[in-house]
Amino acid sequence: MNDEPERIDLSSPEDVLIEVIADESPYERRDWKGFKIDTCTVIGGKDGVTGAASYEQSYGGFLDYVLEDIVDCPKQEGWFVVEGVTAEFYKGDGWATDDNIDFECVGIRPATDEERAMA
């Protein structure tokens, strides 16, 4: 018997405070060439793991890479907020298809002074 849920609800929108820094890495980065996300802090969500961003940060461990995939690079260093991060979970069959999570967001904007203080 499989105790794993057929569906994980990741639809509760969460905002993520990010710090974008210059990246001198020799590795090619498609859309984020010359920049990378240094820190990620989930803000504007509920307590605990309740949405896609907090789930990825707690269990996936690659929230920065996920965000770099779903938003355009601001092409400058600074603090920004990725707004309304959600996701859709798709359960694989355990044989021919894997579980998959498709992330989405509303957009990205500069962080306010109050939001930067949450880092």
What are the tens digits of pLDDT across the range 37-93? 999 999 976 666 678 898 898 888 899 999 999 999 999 999 999 999 999 888 888
Distance CA 103, CA 69 (A): 9
Helices H / strands E in the chain, number of each: 3, 5
Provide the whole-model pTM.
0.85
Instruction: Please state the rounded mean pLDDT for residues 9-36.
Output: 87
pLDDT at 1: 43
User: What CA–CA distance (Å, rounded) separates 52 from 39?
Assistant: 17
Compute the C-alpha angle 75/112/49, nearest 5°. Answer: 90
Burial (Cβ within 10 Å: 0-12, 13-18, ≥19) of residue 81:
buried
